[in-house]
């Protein structure tokens, strides 16, 4: 049979970005998505990925291939536990200080078994390796608090996936600097681009930008690992450089940032009130109610929402060229901004009003944000 097409591009080319699968956990993603045949990957630094296929046979092929790669990496290039000063003692502390008797406990079934090779119990060194490997299994399964990892230097400050309030407090502003950076880039060179925010950018390049912003390693086109030179590199990131010349990569990264907020930009507790306000028949009353709800949001949420919507109004002003109307932008941003905290039992009930709310906020922006 013919060889499958190359995922990374033409033969001999290198991917724009990659993920370190050493020690990764592999599970079925049925609890994370309503779609079928979803594969959930969780790496040791805490990054999570979902792969979905319409064909179960293809899903199983992915599972086998990824499992084989993870087990091979564990044999050939095991995770170095002593980086950043971590070791068995620190792993025990991070895992909650369980007794050594629990070392033999297996990882819960959804997680991939990390140990690809058993060491002889007669060898003291092999026993130590097994003990450390079991510590690592529990560390991956129990996910210690982010603050604990940061204090020990195992995890750097992140931007994507960070609580909005914590991020703004760390930066000393009420709107994340990365949001301002993306908006400025789109205002400068993307307002006239057809399908801006609707067209997706290259996912590999979006992930590369994300890694740089998160102060973690990124992979260059020639396969080298690179780190930001100094903490806070994202504040000096030049989105006008040739590396990010595709403006859809910038918009894709901004949308990804909003999707990965642990709590949606609009607090889920307010969603029923927004939906009730949208159902009001009187236009003035409807706008008044929504204005009050926006005013009740935490300041970082409110200011970031205002900054984003004000920018989208500028996008709409160029709709004769980019074809992005309030309706189209509502479809793009509605599910992200008005996202329920948990999967709703009736997806159809949540399908329309988020887009309608964003559309209303854009058309009545001056009244909602006087």
Alpha-carbon distances of 233 from 149, 157, 257, 258, 309, rounded to whole Å: 21, 11, 17, 20, 27
Sheet holding 48-52, edge to edge: 25-28, 38-42, 48-52
CATH code, domain carrying 250: 1.10.555.10
Please check whether residues 324 and 177 belong to one and the same domain.
yes
Domain that holds residue 242: 164-221+236-368
What pLDDT sits at residue 286?
94
pLDDT at res. 191: 96
Residue 226 lies in a domain: no
Q: State the pLDDT at residue 11.
A: 47
Q: Is residue 119 part of a domain?
A: no
The H-or-E segment that residue 211 falls in is helix 203-213
Give the distance from CA 283 to its chain's centroid: 37
Is position 96 within any domain? no
User: In this structure, are residues 344 and 34 in contact, taking their beta carbons and an 8 Å threshold?
Assistant: no
Count structural domains, the chain. 2
| Distance, CA of 68 to CA of 62 (rounded, Å) | 10
Strands (DSSP E) along the chain, which ranges?
25-28, 38-42, 48-52, 218-219, 225-226
Q: Let me know whether 330 and 183 are in one domain.
A: yes
Rounded alpha-carbon distances, angstroms, from residue 307 to 104, 172, 180, 186:
52, 16, 8, 13
pLDDT for residue 211: 83
d(CA 370, CA 253): 29
169/52 same-domain check = no
Confidence at residue 83, expressed as pLDDT on a 0 to 100 scale: 40
Question: Helices (H), strands (E): how many in the chain?
Answer: 15, 5
Q: Is-contact 265 301, C-beta < 8 A?
A: yes
- DSSP code for 345: S
Q: Is residue 210 one of the residues assigned to a domain? A: yes
**How many Å apart are CA 161 and CA 152, to the nearest integer?**
19
Is residue 330 situated within a structural domain?
yes
Alpha-carbon radius of gyration of the chain = 23
pLDDT value of residue 142: 61
User: 304 lies in a domain?
Assistant: yes
Q: Choose among 189, 236, 321, 221: nearest CA to 10.
A: 221
Q: Domain boundary at 76, 103, 119, which?
A: 76
DSSP state of 219: E
Specify the pLDDT at position 304: 97
- Tell me the C-alpha distance between 212 and 208, whole Å: 6
Residue 161's pLDDT is what? 87
Q: What is the 3-state secondary structure (H, E, C) of 88-121?
A: HHHHHHHCCCCCHHHHHCCCCCCCCCCCCCCCCC
Element (H, E) at 38: strand 38-42
Same domain, 61 and 174: no
CB 141 within 8 A of CB 133: no
Residue given tokens 């793009």 in the structure block: 332
- Within-domain flag for 15: no
Each residue's pLDDT expressed in tens, for the chain with a length of 370 residues: 444 444 444 544 555 567 778 778 888 877 666 778 888 888 877 677 888 888 888 888 888 898 888 888 777 766 544 343 444 444 444 444 444 444 444 444 444 444 444 444 445 556 777 777 777 777 666 665 555 554 554 445 678 888 999 889 988 999 999 999 999 999 999 999 999 999 989 988 998 898 888 765 444 444 444 444 444 444 467 888 888 999 999 999 999 999 999 889 999 999 999 999 999 989 999 999 999 999 999 999 999 999 999 999 999 999 999 999 999 999 999 999 988 766 554 554 556 788 999 999 999 999 999 8
203 and 327 fall within a common domain? yes
Q: Is residue 214 assigned to a domain? A: yes
What are the C-alpha distances in Å from 155 to residues 19, 149, 150, 276, 317?
16, 5, 5, 42, 42
CB 88 within 8 Å of CB 48: no
């Amino acid at each position: 049979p013919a060889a499958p097409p190359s995922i990374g591009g033409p033969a001999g080319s290198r991917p724009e970005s990659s993920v370190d699968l050493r020690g990764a956990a592999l599970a079925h993603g049925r609890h994370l998505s309503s779609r079928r045949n979803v594969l959930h990957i969780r790496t040791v630094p805490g990054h999570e990925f979902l792969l979905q296929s319409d064909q179960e046979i293809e899903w199983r092929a992915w599972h086998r291939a990824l499992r084989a790669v993870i087990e091979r990496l564990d044999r050939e290039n095991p995770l170095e536990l002593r980086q950043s000063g971590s070791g068995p003692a620190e792993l025990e502390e991070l895992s909650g200080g369980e007794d050594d008797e629990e070392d033999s406990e297996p990882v819960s079934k959804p997680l991939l078994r990390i140990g690809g090779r058993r060491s002889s119990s007669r060898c003291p060194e092999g026993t130590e390796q097994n003990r450390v490997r079991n510590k690592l299994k529990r560390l991956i399964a129990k996910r210690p608090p982010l603050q604990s990892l940061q204090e020990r230097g195992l995890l750097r400050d992140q931007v994507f996936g960070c609580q909005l309030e914590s991020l703004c407090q760390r930066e000393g502003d009420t709107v994340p600097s990365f949001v301002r950076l993306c908006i400025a880039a789109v205002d400068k060179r993307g307002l006239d681009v057809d399908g801006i925010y609707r067209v997706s950018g290259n996912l590999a390049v979006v992930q590369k930008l994300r890694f740089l912003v998160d102060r973690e390693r990124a992979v260059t086109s020639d396969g080298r690992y690179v780190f930001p030179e100094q903490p806070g590199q994202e504040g000096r990131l030049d989105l006008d450089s040739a590396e990010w010349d595709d403006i859809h990569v910038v918009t894709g990264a901004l949308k990804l940032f909003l999707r990965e907020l642990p709590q949606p930009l609009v607090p889920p507790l307010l969603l029923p009130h927004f939906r009730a306000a949208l159902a009001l028949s009187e236009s003035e009353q409807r706008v008044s109610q929504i204005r009050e709800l926006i005013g009740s949001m935490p300041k970082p949420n409110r200011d970031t929402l205002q900054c984003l919507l004000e920018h989208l109004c500028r996008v709409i002003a160029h709709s004769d060229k980019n074809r992005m109307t309030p309706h189209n932008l509502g479809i793009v941003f509605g599910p992200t901004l008005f996202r329920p905290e948990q999967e709703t039992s009736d997806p159809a009930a949540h399908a329309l009003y988020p887009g309608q709310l964003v559309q209303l906020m854009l058309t009545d922006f001056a009244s909602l944000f006087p």
